[in-house]
């Protein structure tokens, strides 16, 4: 009856799509790490990801998930006797934890401002 009174529907990406983009990112970072074996390339990729994540207001939990995944790569690299990759991904996971805390602080600041 009252079709003109319906609220417009906002399209939000599904959890699967968001998880898929994080999975693609971690696979790309792993390929860069395994192929290039230069830690600075991974640092640049992470900083670019964090900049985009902060600008698009992505959840801090995504960064913590990426930190956990990159931390999980460390024992795999040790089992494969590739110590350089293990060191790189340990550093990457630390960066994700730090930037996750920055993102969480930004989320809390936005929440506090919204309540005022």
pLDDT tens per residue across span 34-60: 555 667 777 788 888 888 888 888 888
- Give the start-to-end residue ranges of the domains of the chain: 38-116
- pLDDT higher at 10 or 82: 82
Terminal CA-CA length for the chain: 39
The predicted model scores a pTM of 0.64
C-alpha span between 76 and 15 (Å, rounded): 27
pLDDT tens profile 58-70: 888 888 888 888 8
CB contact at 8 A, 84 and 33: no
CB contact at 8 A, 85 and 37: yes
Give pLDDT, residue 5: 55
- pLDDT higher at 3 or 113: 113
C-alpha span between 17 and 13 (Å, rounded): 6
C-alpha span between 89 and 72 (Å, rounded): 9
Tokens found for residue 36 = 């290039």
Tokens found for residue 62 = 């995504």
pLDDT tens profile 19-34: 566 666 666 666 665 5
pLDDT tens profile 76-90: 888 988 788 888 888
């Amino acid at each position: 009856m009252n079709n003109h009174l319906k609220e417009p529907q906002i399209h939000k990406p599904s959890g699967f799509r968001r998880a898929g983009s994080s999975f693609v990112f971690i696979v790309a970072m792993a390929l860069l790490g395994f192929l290039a074996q230069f830690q600075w390339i991974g640092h640049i990729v992470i900083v670019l990801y964090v900049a985009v994540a902060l600008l698009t207001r992505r959840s801090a939990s995504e960064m913590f998930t990426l930190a956990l995944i990159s931390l999980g790569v460390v024992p795999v690299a040790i089992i494969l006797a590739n110590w350089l990759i293990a060191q790189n991904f340990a550093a990457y996971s630390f960066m994700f934890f730090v930037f996750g805390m920055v993102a969480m602080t930004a989320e809390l600041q936005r929440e506090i401002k919204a309540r005022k």
